Amino acid sequence: MIADLDQKVARRFGMVHQAVSDTATVRAVFFIDPKQNICALLYYPILCGRNTDELLRVVDALQTSDANAVATPANWRPGDPVMAPAPVTQADAEKRSLGEEGLEITDWYLERKNLETAAD
């Protein structure tokens, strides 16, 4: 977490629109990964406080997704089931429909798994 008082980070990542002369404060959180990719953005109205628990949840979700090639559903918390990637081919979908171990299958494209169980 940084406070970008001199706008070096904002300018480096193109966060300041060139045509705007007013650089008044905007409450925003940019999640930048170690590869310097912007992974998520959260904007807050100036009258609305930020939620630190939600910021930490987003960091956990992004790190989990990156480390395990999965997606995290809304309101996901560490230890909750994650979403397995959808199958790419018909054959993959048919194989998965046979009941891949550790998957809770809702539909051919929607499967959940528990990372703790999958790692065992």
| Tokens read off for 70 | 């999965």
Q: What is the CATH number of the domain that holds 111?
A: 3.30.1020.10
Same-domain status, 44 and 58? no
pLDDT in tens, 26-77: 678 889 999 999 999 998 877 888 889 999 999 999 999 999 999 999 999 9
- How many CA within 13 A on the CB side of residue 56? 5
Question: How much is the pTM?
Answer: 0.71
How many structural domains comprise the chain?
Answer: 2
DSSP calls for 24-83 = ---EEEEEE-TTS-EEEEEEE-TTS---HHHHHHHHHHHHHHHHHT-B--TT--TTS-EE
Domain that holds residue 68: 51-120
Instruction: State the DSSP code for 88.
Output: S
Residues 67 and 30 in one domain: no
